[in-house]
Homo-oligomer: A and B are copies of this chain.
Protein backbone atom coordinates (compact mmCIF):
# COMPACT_ATOMS: atom_id res chain seq x y z
CA UNK A 1 0.00 0.00 0.00
CA UNK A 2 1.48 3.30 -1.11
CA UNK A 3 1.46 6.28 1.25
CA UNK A 4 -1.46 8.69 0.96
CA UNK A 5 -1.82 12.24 2.28
CA UNK A 6 -5.11 14.02 2.93
CA UNK A 7 -4.92 17.65 1.82
CA UNK A 8 -7.29 20.40 2.95
CA UNK A 9 -7.50 23.71 1.11
CA UNK A 10 -9.15 26.52 3.07
CA UNK A 11 -11.55 28.74 1.10
CA UNK A 12 -13.17 32.08 1.98
CA UNK A 13 -14.91 34.89 0.11
CA UNK A 14 -12.56 36.72 -2.25
CA UNK A 15 -9.92 33.98 -2.12
CA UNK A 16 -7.75 34.37 -5.25
CA UNK A 17 -8.74 31.61 -7.69
CA UNK A 18 -5.31 30.39 -8.82
CA UNK A 19 -4.05 30.51 -5.21
CA UNK A 20 -6.19 27.45 -4.48
CA UNK A 21 -6.76 26.01 -7.98
CA UNK A 22 -3.01 25.76 -8.71
CA UNK A 23 -2.10 23.54 -5.72
CA UNK A 24 -5.46 21.71 -6.14
CA UNK A 25 -4.50 20.75 -9.70
CA UNK A 26 -0.87 19.80 -9.04
CA UNK A 27 -1.63 17.66 -6.00
CA UNK A 28 -4.75 16.01 -7.40
CA UNK A 29 -3.23 14.96 -10.72
CA UNK A 30 -0.14 13.50 -9.07
CA UNK A 31 0.00 9.73 -9.36
CA UNK A 32 2.40 7.04 -8.25
CA UNK A 33 4.71 6.01 -11.14
CA UNK A 34 3.07 2.63 -11.59
CA UNK A 35 -0.51 3.87 -11.40
CA UNK A 36 -2.93 5.29 -13.90
CA UNK A 37 -3.81 8.92 -13.17
CA UNK A 38 -7.48 8.12 -12.70
CA UNK A 39 -7.05 5.47 -10.02
CA UNK A 40 -8.65 7.77 -7.44
CA UNK A 41 -8.43 5.63 -4.33
CA UNK A 42 -4.72 5.00 -4.66
CA UNK A 43 -3.67 8.55 -5.45
CA UNK A 44 -0.92 10.03 -3.24
CA UNK A 45 -2.99 13.13 -2.45
CA UNK A 46 -6.72 13.32 -1.78
CA UNK A 47 -7.62 17.02 -1.91
CA UNK A 48 -10.67 18.52 -0.19
CA UNK A 49 -11.88 22.07 0.42
CA UNK A 50 -13.02 23.65 3.70
CA UNK A 51 -14.51 26.97 4.71
CA UNK A 52 -15.55 28.37 8.07
CA UNK A 53 -19.29 27.81 7.58
CA UNK A 54 -19.24 25.28 4.74
CA UNK A 55 -21.50 27.59 2.73
CA UNK A 56 -20.80 28.52 -0.89
CA UNK A 57 -17.71 30.70 -1.26
CA UNK A 58 -17.59 33.63 -3.69
CA UNK A 59 -13.96 33.55 -4.77
CA UNK A 60 -12.21 36.56 -6.27
CA UNK A 61 -13.72 37.80 -9.53
CA UNK A 62 -16.92 35.88 -8.93
CA UNK A 63 -16.12 32.16 -9.13
CA UNK A 64 -18.56 30.32 -6.85
CA UNK A 65 -17.16 27.24 -5.10
CA UNK A 66 -18.97 24.88 -2.74
CA UNK A 67 -16.57 23.66 -0.01
CA UNK A 68 -16.57 20.01 1.01
CA UNK A 69 -16.47 20.77 4.73
CA UNK A 70 -16.98 23.44 7.38
CA UNK A 71 -14.59 24.00 10.29
CA UNK A 72 -16.98 22.05 12.50
CA UNK A 73 -17.18 18.87 10.38
CA UNK A 74 -13.77 18.85 8.67
CA UNK A 75 -11.79 15.65 9.17
CA UNK A 76 -8.11 15.37 10.05
CA UNK A 77 -5.74 16.59 7.30
CA UNK A 78 -2.08 15.76 6.80
CA UNK A 79 -1.43 18.88 4.73
CA UNK A 80 -3.24 22.21 4.90
CA UNK A 81 -3.06 24.88 2.19
CA UNK A 82 -4.00 28.44 3.20
CA UNK A 83 -4.45 30.55 0.07
CA UNK A 84 -4.51 34.35 -0.09
CA UNK A 85 -6.13 37.13 -2.03
CA UNK A 86 -8.25 40.18 -1.22
CA UNK A 87 -10.34 38.16 1.25
CA UNK A 88 -7.25 37.05 3.19
CA UNK A 89 -5.60 40.44 3.48
CA UNK A 90 -8.74 42.53 4.11
CA UNK A 91 -11.03 40.27 6.12
CA UNK A 92 -9.68 36.88 7.20
CA UNK A 93 -6.57 38.33 8.83
CA UNK A 94 -9.03 39.90 11.30
CA UNK A 95 -11.18 36.75 11.61
CA UNK A 96 -10.38 35.25 15.01
CA UNK A 97 -12.33 32.06 14.28
CA UNK A 98 -10.22 31.28 11.23
CA UNK A 99 -6.93 32.28 12.89
CA UNK A 100 -7.75 30.09 15.90
CA UNK A 101 -8.68 27.18 13.60
CA UNK A 102 -5.32 27.45 11.84
CA UNK A 103 -3.53 27.63 15.21
CA UNK A 104 -5.37 24.52 16.43
CA UNK A 105 -4.78 22.59 13.22
CA UNK A 106 -1.04 23.26 13.38
CA UNK A 107 -0.91 20.68 16.17
CA UNK A 108 -2.25 17.88 13.97
CA UNK A 109 -0.93 18.50 10.43
CA UNK A 110 2.34 17.21 9.02
CA UNK A 111 2.64 20.26 6.80
CA UNK A 112 1.08 23.74 7.04
CA UNK A 113 1.43 25.81 3.87
CA UNK A 114 0.38 29.18 2.53
CA UNK A 115 0.07 30.74 -0.91
CA UNK A 116 0.37 34.47 -1.58
CA UNK A 117 -1.09 36.62 1.23
CA UNK A 118 -2.18 33.46 3.01
CA UNK A 119 1.15 34.05 4.79
CA UNK A 120 -0.52 36.93 6.68
CA UNK A 121 -2.92 34.39 8.19
CA UNK A 122 -0.11 32.08 9.29
CA UNK A 123 1.75 35.08 10.70
CA UNK A 124 -1.35 36.24 12.59
CA UNK A 125 -1.59 32.74 14.08
CA UNK A 126 1.98 33.22 15.32
CA UNK A 127 3.24 30.31 13.24
CA UNK A 128 5.91 32.33 11.41
CA UNK A 129 7.59 33.97 14.44
CA UNK A 130 11.36 33.59 14.09
CA UNK A 131 10.91 31.82 10.77
CA UNK A 132 11.78 32.69 7.18
CA UNK A 133 8.67 33.22 5.06
CA UNK A 134 7.49 34.79 1.82
CA UNK A 135 4.29 36.22 0.33
CA UNK A 136 3.10 38.18 -2.74
CA UNK A 137 5.68 40.87 -3.65
CA UNK A 138 3.08 43.61 -3.10
CA UNK A 139 2.72 42.47 0.54
CA UNK A 140 6.38 42.05 1.56
CA UNK A 141 6.32 45.34 3.48
CA UNK A 142 3.02 44.67 5.18
CA UNK A 143 4.13 41.20 6.33
CA UNK A 144 7.36 42.66 7.72
CA UNK A 145 5.76 45.71 9.34
CA UNK A 146 2.84 43.96 10.99
CA UNK A 147 4.80 40.88 12.01
CA UNK A 148 8.35 42.05 12.83
CA UNK A 149 9.36 38.61 14.13
CA UNK A 150 8.96 37.11 10.65
CA UNK A 151 12.12 37.00 8.53
CA UNK A 152 10.69 37.99 5.15
CA UNK A 153 12.35 36.43 2.10
CA UNK A 154 11.90 38.37 -1.14
CA UNK A 155 12.01 37.16 -4.73
CA UNK A 156 11.67 33.47 -3.99
CA UNK A 157 8.90 31.12 -5.10
CA UNK A 158 8.61 29.47 -1.70
CA UNK A 159 10.37 29.05 1.64
CA UNK A 160 10.48 25.58 3.21
CA UNK A 161 10.80 25.73 7.02
CA UNK A 162 10.17 22.04 7.55
CA UNK A 163 6.62 21.76 8.86
CA UNK A 164 5.68 25.16 7.38
CA UNK A 165 6.06 26.21 3.76
CA UNK A 166 5.06 29.67 2.52
CA UNK A 167 4.97 30.64 -1.14
CA UNK A 168 4.96 33.84 -3.20
CA UNK A 169 2.09 35.38 -5.11
CA UNK A 170 -0.73 33.58 -6.91
CA UNK A 171 1.06 31.23 -9.35
CA UNK A 172 3.92 30.57 -6.89
CA UNK A 173 1.53 28.17 -5.16
CA UNK A 174 2.00 25.92 -8.20
CA UNK A 175 5.78 25.96 -7.69
CA UNK A 176 5.29 25.17 -4.01
CA UNK A 177 2.96 22.29 -4.82
CA UNK A 178 5.58 20.79 -7.15
CA UNK A 179 8.09 21.17 -4.31
CA UNK A 180 5.76 19.25 -1.99
CA UNK A 181 5.38 16.47 -4.57
CA UNK A 182 9.15 16.30 -5.02
CA UNK A 183 9.87 16.38 -1.27
CA UNK A 184 7.37 13.62 -0.47
CA UNK A 185 7.52 11.46 -3.60
CA UNK A 186 10.70 12.38 -5.45
CA UNK A 187 11.69 14.23 -8.60
CA UNK A 188 10.49 11.53 -10.99
CA UNK A 189 6.90 11.77 -9.77
CA UNK A 190 7.02 15.59 -9.80
CA UNK A 191 8.34 15.52 -13.38
CA UNK A 192 5.57 13.14 -14.43
CA UNK A 193 2.97 15.49 -12.92
CA UNK A 194 4.46 18.44 -14.81
CA UNK A 195 4.34 16.48 -18.06
CA UNK A 196 0.71 15.53 -17.49
CA UNK A 197 -0.10 19.22 -16.90
CA UNK A 198 2.11 20.32 -19.83
CA UNK A 199 3.66 22.68 -17.28
CA UNK A 200 7.12 24.08 -18.01
CA UNK A 201 9.01 23.91 -14.77
CA UNK A 202 12.55 22.96 -13.86
CA UNK A 203 11.97 20.28 -11.23
CA UNK A 204 15.58 20.61 -10.05
CA UNK A 205 14.65 24.12 -8.83
CA UNK A 206 11.61 23.14 -6.76
How many residues of chain A get a CB closer than 8 Å to chain B's CBs? Answer: 38
Contact of A197 among B18, B62, B66, B157 (CB under 8 A): B18
Beta-carbon contact of B66 and A65 below 8 Å: yes
22 A-B interface contacts by CB (under 8 A): A17-B25, A18-B22, A21-B25, A28-B60, A28-B62, A29-B61, A40-B61, A49-B63, A56-B66, A63-B65, A64-B66, A64-B67, A64-B68, A65-B65, A136-B198, A137-B198, A169-B197, A169-B198, A170-B196, A170-B197, A170-B198, A170-B199
Across-interface contacts of A168 in B (CB, < 8 A) = 198
**C-alpha spacing A38/B62, complex, angstroms:** 12
A48 at interface (Cβ–Cβ under 8 A)?
yes
Beta-carbon contact of A62 and B48 below 8 Å: yes
Across-interface contacts of A136 in B (CB, < 8 A) = 198
Q: Which A residues lie at the B interface, using CB under 8 A?
A: 16-18, 21-22, 24-25, 28-29, 38, 40, 47-49, 56, 60-68, 86, 136-137, 157, 168-172, 196-200
Contact of A64 among B29, B65, B157 (CB under 8 A): B65
**C-alpha spacing A83/B29, complex, angstroms:** 16
Chain B nearest CB, measured from A110 CB (Å): 21
Number of copies: 2
Across-interface contacts of A66 in B (CB, < 8 A) = 56, 64-66
Known A18-B21, A64-B65; 5 more pairs at CB < 8 Å: A16-B25, A18-B197, A56-B66, A170-B199, A171-B200
**C-alpha spacing A196/B86, complex, angstroms:** 13
Chain B nearest CB, measured from A69 CB (Å): 12
**C-alpha spacing A18/B196, complex, angstroms:** 12
Across-interface contacts of A29 in B (CB, < 8 A) = 61, 170
